[in-house]
Structure formats: C-alpha cells, structure tokens
C-alpha cells in the first residue's frame, strides 16, 4: 500500500481516466462522479486518455505513446474501464491493459471478493486473489509451425524467481494489512496465505513459483531470528484444480490467495460468481509507486450503450485505488455506500437476480447513499 506524501496532500491528485472499449465508456464516468462526491476524498483532477481495440481499429494503435507518457509523467494513479480482446489473432494488435501493466511496473493484480454468498445458506465470503501480473503465458510468446501432420502451436510460459518472490511479498503484505484491520475491528478470523499452483505436474515452472513464495515466509523468519513480521499469518498450498473445486464448495476457507498470472485470472473471475456477478468485483493493478483501478468485467458489447451495465465494479475499483494510495477513510465511505445500495436491493442491474435497474439508477442510488 502506498502512503500519501505531503506534496500529494497539498495539491490535487491527477487521475488518468482510460475508458477504452464497450461499457468502459459508461461505467468509468460513474466512478469519477462518485469519487468527486465522496466526503473526505482528496482533491482530484481527471485526465482523459485513450486506449483500446476500438481505437486500434480507427488508428492502428491500441495504446498511444502519449497515453503512456502522460501516466508516467503527469498522473498519480489511473482508472481503466474495459478492453475488447478479439478471440482470434489480429495482426498488429496486442492488449493495451497487458502492456500498461508492464510499462507502469504494475506487477500485482489485487482482486477482493467479499459479501453475502450468491448461494443461500452459505457462509460469508472474504477472500482476495493476488495475481502475478507480468509473466506466465501472458508474455505472449507464441509460434505456429506447419508440419507434415498439420499445424502445431506452441506457447512459452515464463516463471522467474524475481517475479514470484515479488508477488509473494505483496501477498504477505496484503495479509499483514488484513490482519491489522481485523484486529482493530475485534475480528478474530485467522489470516492465511494460500499458494495456488500445479507443481505436481509442472514441477519446474510452478515448482519455482511455489518455492519462491514459500521462501518469502521462510526468509522473514530467518532475518528476524525466529518469529518475523509475518508471524501469526498461516500459510498453506492448494493445487489449482482442487482450488477451483474447494472455492465453489467452501469459499470461506480462503483468505489471501497468491497465484501465477493465468491461474489468478481464472480463479478470480470464477470467484465473482460466488457473490453474484462480475459486475460487482473490483481490482487494482499495483506496483511499488503507481496504482491503477480496473473492474474485473469485460467490455460487454451485447449491452453497450443500453444503460444496463453494472457500474459497481468500477466504483469499487475507484475506492480500492484510493485505499491502496493510503486514503482509507474515503475508500471505506464508498464501500459502505455501495454495500447499502446492494443491501436495499432496489437498484440492481439485470446481471443480478431480479435486477431491472439502469446504470443511471445505480449511480443515483450510490450518490444518495454517500449524501
């Protein structure tokens, strides 16, 4: 988590706003208006920026250098809307969000899922997936070869000790913060980090990820000559296939889950089903000096422009951005406003059971709750 410096506290924060594709253009403005209306929030200036597949179709460039330069040199944080990624190869196109994560050093994707379970009678859910953001199959090193027996496609999967150790440290730091918040609130729920891998099959790549993350915990104890900073945080492991099974059967057993890029992407999207919809689930892309909020949902072209998109994931991502910048009180204010709207159950979009409200209805309800 970043801490607001004195210079930041004396001037308006500059937030890069990248709606990108589809419903990103509808939900990101809602998040901006909620930020502007939040009591106690820091002063903010919003900088409109361009990226996305739709931009690529118009200009041949999915992520202009001007967008990267502005974020690096003139912004304190950013919000990303959604991106349309074609399911087939498009010559010259690569995902702007993947490139942004690399350009800005955003090596961790942090995706919390909490709240009443979608399944009646189940225990409340409060888990967060810490997804390594820079490696695995997402380095996009693929080849297609013609052979006498037909085409053969290959993809290189990269797992490094440096990146795995770094994401392991981020997971334990998040766990440490959750432990402190629970203790402050009188919550006795144990704090635990679960390493998600498949090293029983991928013994080299997943094996390196597993040992690197475990090494963070062990090195902490060694450096402190016994109990370390992470003392009191439990650690266990889960094979990714059994992780998915257990997550849907008993999600309450998970707290902080750390995973390589692909597994983290899949399990965090799946976890959204536990609370009812991808339209509710927030994330931030975090580095050591920059934060970018990003709702977990996609561009949803089937509902684009129909005032049907659920803006809650975007609003929660904006709050998460504030939280990880160190502005915890205004972030909590937004979380509580959203929770109140969901609990009331009157302003629910069609992605939620019984929902018939519009994007505008949900925005008005959240602004009303803030007021």
Residue 228 pLDDT > 90, yes or no? no
Instruction: Report the pLDDT value the prediction gives residue 4, as an integer from 0 to 100.
Output: 59
| pLDDT higher at 295 or 1 | 295
Instruction: Report the pLDDT value the prediction gives residue 293, as an integer from 0 to 100.
Output: 97
Residues 139, 205 contacting (CB under 8 angstroms):
no
Contacts of residue 332, Cβ cutoff 8 Å, sequence gap at least 6: 319, 323
Q: To 10 degrees, the CA torsion angle through 362, 365, 369, 371?
A: 120
Question: 10-108+278-284+295-370 with 119-274: one CATH topology?
Answer: yes
DSSP 307-346: T----HHHHHHHHHHHHHTT-HHHHHHHHHHHHHHHHH-S
Q: Which residues pair with 152 in a beta bridge?
A: 145
Distance CA 367, CA 227 (A): 46
Instruction: Report the pLDDT value the prediction gives residue 132, as an integer from 0 to 100.
Output: 96
Instruction: Report the pLDDT value the prediction gives residue 115, as an integer from 0 to 100.
Output: 75
Instruction: Report the pLDDT value the prediction gives residue 94, as an integer from 0 to 100.
Output: 87
Per the CATH hierarchy, to which homologous superfamily does domain 119-274 belong? Isopropylmalate Dehydrogenase (3.40.718.10)
Q: Where are the domains of the chain?
A: 10-108+278-284+295-370, 119-274
Instruction: Report the pLDDT value the prediction gives residue 119, as an integer from 0 to 100.
Output: 62
Instruction: Report the pLDDT value the prediction gives residue 296, as an integer from 0 to 100.
Output: 87
Instruction: Report the pLDDT value the prediction gives residue 103, as an integer from 0 to 100.
Output: 93
Class of domain 10-108+278-284+295-370: alpha beta
Residue 147 pLDDT > 90, yes or no? yes
Report the pLDDT averaged over residues 221-228: 76
Instruction: Report the pLDDT value the prediction gives residue 221, as an integer from 0 to 100.
Output: 80
Report the pLDDT averaged over residues 169-189: 89
**In this structure, what token pair is assigned to residue 67?**
């967008």
Question: Which pTM value belongs to this model?
Answer: 0.89
Distance CA 254, CA 90 (A): 38
| pLDDT higher at 275 or 355 | 355
Q: What percent of the chain has pLDDT over 90?
A: 74
Q: Which of 198-202, 220-224, 264-268 has the lowest mean pLDDT?
A: 220-224
In 3-state terms, what secondary structure has residue 135?
coil
Summarize pLDDT for 266-275 with one digit per residue, the tens: 998 888 888 8
Instruction: Report the pLDDT value the prediction gives residue 125, as an integer from 0 to 100.
Output: 86
């Amino acid at each position: 988590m970043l801490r607001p410096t004195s210079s930041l506290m004396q001037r308006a924060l500059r937030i890069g706003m990248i709606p990108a594709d589809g419903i990103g253009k509808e939900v990101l403005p809602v998040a901006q208006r909620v930020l502007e209306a939040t009591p106690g929030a820091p002063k903010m200036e919003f900088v409109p920026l361009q990226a996305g597949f739709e931009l690529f179709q118009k200009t041949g460039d999915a992520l202009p250098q001007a967008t990267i330069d502005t974020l690096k040199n003139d912004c304190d944080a950013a919000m990303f809307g959604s991106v349309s990624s074609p399911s087939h190869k498009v010559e010259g196109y690569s995902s702007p969000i993947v490139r942004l994560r690399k350009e800005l050093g955003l090596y961790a994707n942090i995706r919390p899922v909490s709240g009443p379970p979608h399944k009646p009678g189940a225990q409340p859910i409060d888990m967060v997936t810490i997804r390594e953001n820079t490696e695995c199959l997402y380095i996009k090193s693929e080849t297609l070869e013609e052979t006498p027996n037909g085409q053969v496609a290959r993809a290189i999967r990269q797992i490094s000790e440096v990146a795995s150790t770094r994401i392991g440290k981020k997971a334990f730091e998040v766990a440490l913060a959750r432990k402190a918040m629970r203790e402050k609130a009188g919550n006795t729920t144990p704090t635990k980090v679960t390493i998600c891998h498949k090293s029983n099959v991928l013994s080299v790549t997943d094996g390196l990820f597993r040992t690197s993350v475990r090494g963070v915990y062990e090195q902490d104890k060694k450096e402190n000559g016994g109990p370390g900073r992470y003392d009191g945080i439990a650690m266990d492991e889960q094979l990714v296939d059994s992780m998915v099974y257990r997550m849907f059967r008993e999600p309450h057993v998970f707290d902080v889950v750390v995973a390589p890029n692909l597994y983290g992407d899949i399990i965090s999207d799946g976890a959204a089903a536990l609370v009812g919809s991808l339209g509710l689930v927030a994330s931030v892309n975090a580095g050591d000096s920059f934060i970018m909020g990003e709702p977990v949902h996609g561009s949803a072209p089937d509902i684009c422009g129909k005032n049907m998109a659920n803006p809650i994931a975007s609003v929660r991502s904006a709050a998460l951005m504030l939280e990880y910048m160190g502005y915890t009180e205004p972030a909590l204010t937004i979380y509580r406003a959203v929770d109140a709207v969901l609990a009331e159950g009157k302003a629910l979009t069609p992605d939620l059971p019984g929902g018939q409200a519009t994007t505008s209805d949900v925005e008005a309800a959240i602004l009303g709750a803030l007021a």
